[in-house]
Amino acid sequence: MPGIAQILNGKIIKGFIFIVLEIFINVKSNFNEVIYLSFHGKIEEAIVQTNYQWLMFYPCLYIFVMWDAFNDAGGGKEPYAFIPFAFSAFFITIGLIYSSTFEIGGVLLGSMWLPILFLPIGIVFGKLIRSIILKNI
C-alpha cells in the first residue's frame, strides 16, 4: 500500500498523506470493485465500474510513491535512476487509457490486467532510455 514504506523509512507525515491519497483515489475510481470483478473474469462489468477520470491518477501516485520510498531508503543515487519509474507510470497509464477497447489475441483484458501487462514494457523502455542517455553523456 502506498505510504507504508515511507512510514517504515521514518517519514510518518508523508506516509500518512500517501495513504490518504491512495484510499481517496481508490474509492473515487471504484478500483476495489474493478479488482474484484477482474479476478472473477467479469471484464466487461469491471470496465463499466471503472471511473477512468480518477483511476488514471493511480499509476502516477503508485509509481511515485515507490520511487520516493526507494530514494528515501538510499537507492536512486545513480544518475537518471528515476527514468524507469517515470516510464513505468507512463506505460501503465497508456495501458489504462486503452483498456476498455484493446484486445490481445481477441481477449479484452480490461482496466486492471492490461495496465499490469504494460508495466514491464515501461520498465524495459525506461532502462533503455536511461542507458542511451548515460552513454551519450
**Distance in angstroms (rounded) separating the CA atoms of residues 52 and 57:** 9
pLDDT at position 76, please?
85
Closest CA to 73 of 119, 3, 2, 5: 5
Query: Looking up cell 492490461, which residue turns up?
Result: 114
Per-block mean pLDDT, blocks of 10 residues, the chain (137 long): 94 97 97 98 97 96 96 91 97 97 95 97 97 95
Query: Looking up cell 470483478, which residue turns up?
Result: 37
The C-alpha R_g of the chain, in whole angstroms, comes to 16
**Distance in angstroms (rounded) separating the CA atoms of residues 64 and 26:** 16
Range of the domain at 118: 4-135
pTM for the whole structure: 0.92
Domain total of the chain: 1
pLDDT at position 8, please?
94
**Distance in angstroms (rounded) separating the CA atoms of residues 75 and 86:** 15
How far separated are the first and last CA of the chain, in Å rounded? 36
pLDDT at position 57, please?
96
**Distance in angstroms (rounded) separating the CA atoms of residues 119 and 20:** 24
CB 117 within 8 Å of CB 91: no
DSSP string, 61-97: HHHHHHHHHHHHTT---STTTTHHHHHHHHHHHHHHH
